[in-house]
């Protein structure tokens, strides 16, 4: 029996949080448009201030992303339309994390308009927003929470004012009710009727008071996604579903090794003559073919005779990269501690993981007459627009970038790789293209969370942990998406050899996101990287370094607890460094019945994590009995199974608890995958994986039967991040449970990476496989 109970811990007090008066604007126009500056109102105080703040607690990545946004002049606007609906063109990507629904909820709250009357669309690239059109770091809710509400509240104020004049009533006697303004005598004017009357004639600054949290009727209540109906009927349009005239299917013939390049193509004319094929063009990353159907693109790609130049890691395998990492590892310090102190020292290896979504990399591009129009799911549309302009040598204003909803993003869609390919192909062919990566391309040539090692040395004496040092050494992560804007992007690409990337981004990002959530004595954490930032295609993956960093820590914490004779939960309770962490820990221990008797080779694991202005704890139960581990599913990785999970999450304020629950469930599946089953193997300059049956992300046969997510009552009153928050504590809890069930601490992840391969690697030349034909008999 699987269950998922969305518990909501009691919330009786409903305290009011923070400042509520803000400035915004009424813009001039034919209908009412209210606006606010992004970045406004994200500075209210935290309820819980940790005792000895580390960098990431006092000033974390969310602050950085927010503050980077402050000086920009861009406004976000909420319009009230004559048909009584409101619209908001959101400068963020909806990629499944539910930000469109969140935005609609905030507007609904402040505008007193039902959710189904609010249309949230995804804004085209707006270069004037500078840093503020970048979907990353689970930052969207945090940075837009106040601005959206300010704009909506101003809109409501203007509607009330207009109604006062039309009804000849004092404004304070009027009441907004579900899309209309009502006078005490029952007369009503709908928002639609008022929209034009309330419109501004010039830009005006207005100040507004937001709804106090004690009066919330929408924020904090569980709501379904606003795009759910479209999703379940197949009507939701992703980039490849959009009908752009003549934008025909296009695929790229890619090199057999990572980042190889085209030397020459022997049979262009022959391939151009194949059924359905219209064009063949060599682009930076390979040879693009355009055809009537994607199936015919695959045929054409397979028929191309291409000579390839070397790639960036030809001949290299996992073991070579690991050796290079080990050479670069910074020695752990010998701590100055009393001679009687004992030391725990562990080293962990984390193999390469793929950040591909189910929707492949894709883009529609129409490049003609010195202009470009793009449709693509993009986390950083402004940067994309600038890169396209640079590539074509045209002004930014000649490039229009439409953002489409993403079929998952996870960091992969931070980069403009497929857009640049589509633009190059369209330009050379002189025709619009609908470019999509084949699934084989995704793990083979796509970006990945790179391989790394993490070493920890901790010392303890009596009841105290004296020192805790962590040294993280990683293949470079490409952060050149910077803050989504070309100026920071340039800084990331500064030579020599990506040092700009490491010193400019990787190291600061590391320090802004990592911490040790325990009261230990001297804590130090360091990161260093090897290789140029773009040697192996990389990027962040549903969280940055914390799945690895925290998994290493939590395993060592269990070891410390064992050596100090303490229970893992009690140990964490005793050392947890703030109240919110303690509260989520207690919650999962209670709801998950920590310490209940378990059969041999099954066990519980527990972890706690702080990030994104929040706290989260996860308790899992794992089954490592031979009959479970060896269960057979066709072409699948089975192995140990997480049977149950309980997650308690405090994001400060859950705007939509149902959406937050969904994000935690998803994060849990990622954590399970990263601990147990999913990695890429580098062999001879290329990755072996080429399919979802090779790269073993969690599947139904790996999913827990019983998942319980507990959303904690509001603590800070400010919503923190959610999309990536579930992953680190889930991965850590699974690793800890596995160690307890088997009696052996795992030291390399996923735990099956060095087992015999469970699949036959697909060929590299030709680079794609054609679809089978037995689908009527094989399902």
Residue 502 near other proteins by CB under 8 A? no
**Is 596 among the residues that bind other proteins (CB under 8 A)?**
no
Q: Residue 494 or residue 636: which is nearer to ligand FES going by CB? A: 636
Is the omega angle on the peptide bond into residue 64 within 30 degrees of 0, that is, cis?
no
**Shortest separation between residue 435's beta carbon and ligand FES, angstroms:** 17
Q: How far is the CB of 272 from other proteins (least distance, A)?
A: 16
Listing DSSP states for 42-61 in one string gives --PPPS---SS--HHHHS-H
Write out the two tokens for 601.
Answer: 């080779």
Least distance (Å) between residue 149 CB and other proteins: 23
Looking at the Cβ atoms of 381 and 443, the one nearer to other proteins is: 443
Q: Which of the listed partners (ligand FES, other proteins, none) does 243 bind, with a CB threshold of 5 to 8 Å by partner kind?
A: other proteins
Minimum CB–partner distance for residue 555 and other proteins (Å): 23
Site for other proteins in 166-225 (CB under 8 A): 224-225
Q: Which stretch binds other proteins (CB under 8 A): 400-408, 545-553, 560-568, 593-601?
A: 400-408
Among 14, 20, 658, 683, binds other proteins (CB under 8 A): 658
CB of 442 to other proteins, least distance (A): 9
Contacts of 373-376 with CB under 8 Å at 24 or more apart are 373/399, 373/400, 373/402, 374/399, 374/400, 374/401, 374/402, 374/419, 374/422, 374/423, 375/239, 375/242, 375/244, 375/402, 375/404, 376/239, 376/401, 376/402, 376/403, 376/404, 376/416, 376/418, 376/419, 376/422
- Least Å distance, CB 358 to other proteins, is 4
Helices (H), 341-454: 381-392, 417-429, 441-445
Task: Please choose which of ligand FES, other proteins, none residue 97 contacts, taking the beta carbon within 5 to 8 angstroms, the exact cut-off set by kind.
Answer: other proteins
Cβ–Cβ contacts within 10 Å for residue 231, how many? 12
Question: Counting contacts by CB under 8 A, is residue 662 touching other proteins?
Answer: yes
Helix (H) or strand (E) holding 528: strand 522-530
Nearer to ligand FES, 96 or 652 (CB): 96
318 vs 354, which CB is nearer to ligand FES? 354
Angstrom distances, CA of residue 657 to CA of 71, 119, 543, 650, 708: 32, 21, 20, 11, 13
Smallest distance from other proteins to CB 595, Å: 24
- DSSP for residue 763: P
The bridge status of strand 188-190 relative to strand 180-182 is antiparallel
Using CB under 8 A, which of the segments 28-36, 130-138, 519-527, 664-672 binds other proteins?
Answer: 664-672
Q: Which of ligand FES, other proteins, none has residue 2 at its interface (CB below 5 to 8 Å by kind)? A: other proteins
CB of 407 to other proteins, least distance (A): 3
In the complex, least distance from residue 688 CB atom to other proteins, rounded to whole angstroms: 15
**Helix, coil or strand: residue 435:** strand
What is the distance, to the nearest Å, from the Cα of residue 228 to the centroid of all Cα atoms in its chain?
A: 20
Binding pattern to other proteins, positions 25-44, x when CB under 8 A? Answer: --------------------
Q: Which stretch binds other proteins (CB under 8 A): 65-73, 103-111, 326-334, 690-698?
A: 690-698
The entry of other proteins, ligand FES, none near residue 527 (CB within 5 to 8 angstroms by kind) is none
Q: Half-sphere exposure of residue 358, counting CA atoms within 13 Å on the CB side?
A: 9
Site string for other proteins, 94-123 (x = CB under 8 A): -xxxx-------------------------
**β-bridge partners, 519:** none
Q: Which is nearer to ligand FES, 243 or 778 (CB)?
A: 778
Decide the pairing of beta strands 706-711 and 3-8.
Answer: parallel
Q: Which pairing describes strands 342-350 and 452-461: parallel, antiparallel, or unpaired?
A: antiparallel
Query: What's the start-to-end Cα distance of the chain, in Å?
Result: 26
Rounded (5°) CA angle 268-274-278? 75
The reply to whether 707 sits near other proteins by the rule CB under 8 A is: yes
Size of the site for other proteins (CB under 8 A): 81
Nearest by Cα to 136 from 612, 537, 527: 612
* Residue 698 binds which entry of other proteins, ligand FES, none, CB below 5-8 Å type-dependent: other proteins
Q: Cβ 633 to ligand FES, closest distance in Å?
A: 16
**Shortest Cβ 99–ligand FES spacing (Å):** 14
From other proteins, ligand FES, none, which one binds at residue 19 (CB under 5 to 8 Å depending on kind)? none
Shortest gap between Cβ of 451 and other proteins (angstroms)?
Answer: 21
Interacting stretch for other proteins, rule CB under 8 A, among 229-237, 315-323, 502-510, 522-530?
229-237
Site residues for other proteins, window 347-366 (CB under 8 A)? 356-360
621 is a site residue for other proteins (CB under 8 A): no
Give whichever of 269 and 776 is closer to other proteins, judged by the CB atom. Answer: 776
Long-range contacts of 42-45 (CB under 8 A, 24+ apart): 42/66, 42/142, 42/143, 42/145, 42/146, 42/718, 44/17, 44/18, 44/19, 44/716, 44/717, 44/718, 45/18
Find the radius of gyration of the CA atoms of the chain.
27
436 binds other proteins (CB under 8 A): yes
Q: What share of the chain is helix, strand, coil (3-state, %, to 5)?
A: 30, 25, 45
Is residue 86 a contact point for other proteins (CB under 8 A)?
no
Q: Which does 293 bind (CB under 5 to 8 A by kind): other proteins, ligand FES, none?
A: other proteins
Report the residue number, 98 or 750, with the smaller CB distance to ligand FES.
Answer: 98
Residue 777, both tokens: 């008999």
Measured from the CB atom, the residue of 82 and 408 that comes closer to ligand FES is 408
Q: CB nearer to ligand FES: give 478 or 670.
A: 670
Contacts of 434 (CB under 8 A, 6+ apart): 240, 244, 247, 248, 249, 250, 362, 364, 422
Work out whether 758 is an interface residue with other proteins (CB under 8 A).
no
Question: Which residues of the chain form contacts with ligand FES (CB under 6 A)?
Answer: 96, 358, 408
Asked if 539 interacts with other proteins (CB under 8 A), we say no
424 close to 391: Cβ distance less than 8 angstroms: yes
Residue nearest to ligand FES (CB): 358
Rounded to the nearest 10 degrees, the angle between the axes of helix 546-563 and helix 657-676 is 70
Of the pair 244, 769, the CB lying nearest ligand FES is at 769
Question: CA–CA distance from 455 to each of 332, 508, 511 (Å)?
Answer: 8, 19, 16
Q: Phi first, then psi: what are they for 23, rounded to 5°?
A: -100, 145
Say how far apart CA 435 and CA 445 lie, in whole Å: 15
Q: Which does 217 bind (CB under 5 to 8 A by kind): ligand FES, other proteins, none?
A: none
Does 769 help bind other proteins (rule: CB under 8 A)?
A: yes
According to DSSP, the β-strands at 248-253 and 433-436 are: parallel
Residue 2 CB, nearest approach to other proteins (Å): 5
Rounded to a whole number of angstroms, the minimum distance from the CB of residue 237 to ligand FES is 15
Q: Which is nearer to ligand FES, 697 or 749 (CB)?
A: 697
Neighbour tally for 100: CB within 10 Å: 22
For the chain, how many helices (H) and strands (E)? 21, 32
Q: How far is the CB of 200 from ligand FES (least distance, A)?
A: 40
Residue 748 burial (CB < 10 Å; 0-12/13-18/19+)? middle
Minimum Å gap between C-beta 236 and ligand FES is 10
Site string for other proteins, 309-348 (x = CB under 8 A): ----------------------------------------
Q: Should residue 227 be labelled a site residue for other proteins when binding is judged by CB under 8 A?
A: yes
Return the residue of 406, 456, 516, 581 that touches other proteins, per CB under 8 A. 406
């Amino acid at each position: 029996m699987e269950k998922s109970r969305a518990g909501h811990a009691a919330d009786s007090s409903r305290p009011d949080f923070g400042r509520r008066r803000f400035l915004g604007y009424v813009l001039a126009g034919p209908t009412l448009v209210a606006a606010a500056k992004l970045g406004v109102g994200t500075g209210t105080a935290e309820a819980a201030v940790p005792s000895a703040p580390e960098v990431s607690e006092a000033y974390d990545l969310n602050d950085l992303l927010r503050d980077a946004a402050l000086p920009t002049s861009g406004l976000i606007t909420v319009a009230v339309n004559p048909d009584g609906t409101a619209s908001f063109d959101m400068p963020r990507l909806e990629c499944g994390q539910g930000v469109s629904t969140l935005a609609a909820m905030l507007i609904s709250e402040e505008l007193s308009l039902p959710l189904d009357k609010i249309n949230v669309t995804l804004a085209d690239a707006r270069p004037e927003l500078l840093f503020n059109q970048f979907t990353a770091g689970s930052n969207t809710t945090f940075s837009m929470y106040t601005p959206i509400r300010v704009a909506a509240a101003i809109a409501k104020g203007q509607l009330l004012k207009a109604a006062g004049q039309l009804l000849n009533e004092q404004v304070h006697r009027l009441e907004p009710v579900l899309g209309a303004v009502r006078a005490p005598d029952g007369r009503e004017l709908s928002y639609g009727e008022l929209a034009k009357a309330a419109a501004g004639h010039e830009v005006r600054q207005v100040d507004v008071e937001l709804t106090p949290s004690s009066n919330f009727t929408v924020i904090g209540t569980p709501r379904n996604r606003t795009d759910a109906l479209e999703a379940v009927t197949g009507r939701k349009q992703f980039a490849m579903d959009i009908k752009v005239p003549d934008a025909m299917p296009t695929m790229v013939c890619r090199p057999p090794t990572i980042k190889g390049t085209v030397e020459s193509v022997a049979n262009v004319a022959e391939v151009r003559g194949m059924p359905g094929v219209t064009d063949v063009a060599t682009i930076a990353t390979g040879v693009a073919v355009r055809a009537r159907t994607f199936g015919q693109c695959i045929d054409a790609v397979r028929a191309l005779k291409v000579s390839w130049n070397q790639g960036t890691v030809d001949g290299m395998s996992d073991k070579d990269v690991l050796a290079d990492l080990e050479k670069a590892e910074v020695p752990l310090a010998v701590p100055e501690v009393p001679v009687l102190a004992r030391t725990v020292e562990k080293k962990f290896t984390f193999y390469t993981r793929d950040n591909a979504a189910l929707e492949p990399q894709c883009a529609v591009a129409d490049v003609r007459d010195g202009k470009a129009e793009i449709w693509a799911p993009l986390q950083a549309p402004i940067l994309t627009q600038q890169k396209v302009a640079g590539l074509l040598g045209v002004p930014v204003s000649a490039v229009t970038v439409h953002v489409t909803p993403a079929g998952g993003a996870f960091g992969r869609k931070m980069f403009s790789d497929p857009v640049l390919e589509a633009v190059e192909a369209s330009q050379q062919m002189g025709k619009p293209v609908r470019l999509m990566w084949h699934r084989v391309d995704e793990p083979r040539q796509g970006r990945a969370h790179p391989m790394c090692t993490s070493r920890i040395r901790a010392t303890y004496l009596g009841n105290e942990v004296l020192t805790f040092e962590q040294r993280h050494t990683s293949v470079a992560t490409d952060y050149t998406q910077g803050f989504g804007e070309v100026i920071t992007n340039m800084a990331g690409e500064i030579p020599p050899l990506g040092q700009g990337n490491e010193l400019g981004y990787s190291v600061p990002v590391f320090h802004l996101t990592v911490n040790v959530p325990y009261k230990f004595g001297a804590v130090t954490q360091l990161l260093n990287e090897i290789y140029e930032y773009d040697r192996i295609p990389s990027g962040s993956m549903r969280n940055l370094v914390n799945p690895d960093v925290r998994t290493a820590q939590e395993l060592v914490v269990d070891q410390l607890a064992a050596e100090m004779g303490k229970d893992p939960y009690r140990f964490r309770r005793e050392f947890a460094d703030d109240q919110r962490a303690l509260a989520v820990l207690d919650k999962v221990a209670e709801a998950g019945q920590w310490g209940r008797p378990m059969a041999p080779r099954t066990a519980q694991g527990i972890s706690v994590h702080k990030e994104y202005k929040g706290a989260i704890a996860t308790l899992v139960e794992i089954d490592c009995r031979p009959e479970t581990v060896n269960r057979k599913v066709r072409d699948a990785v089975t192995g140990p199974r997480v049977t149950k999970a309980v997650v308690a999450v405090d994001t400060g304020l859950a705007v939509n608890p149902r959406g937050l629950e969904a994000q935690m469930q998803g994060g849990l599946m990622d954590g399970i995958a990263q601990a147990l089953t999913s990695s890429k193997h580098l062999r001879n300059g290329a990755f072996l994986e080429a399919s979802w049956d090779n790269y073993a992300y969690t599947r139904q046969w790996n999913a827990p039967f019983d998942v319980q997510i507990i959303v904690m009552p509001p603590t800070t009153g400010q919503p923190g991040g959610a999309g990536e928050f579930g992953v680190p504590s889930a991965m850590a809890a699974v690793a800890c449970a596995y160690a307890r069930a088997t009696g052996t601490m795992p030291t390399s992840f996923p735990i099956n990476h060095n087992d015999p391969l469970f699949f036959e690697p697909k060929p590299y030349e030709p680079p794609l496989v054609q679809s089978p034909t037995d689908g009527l008999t094989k399902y």
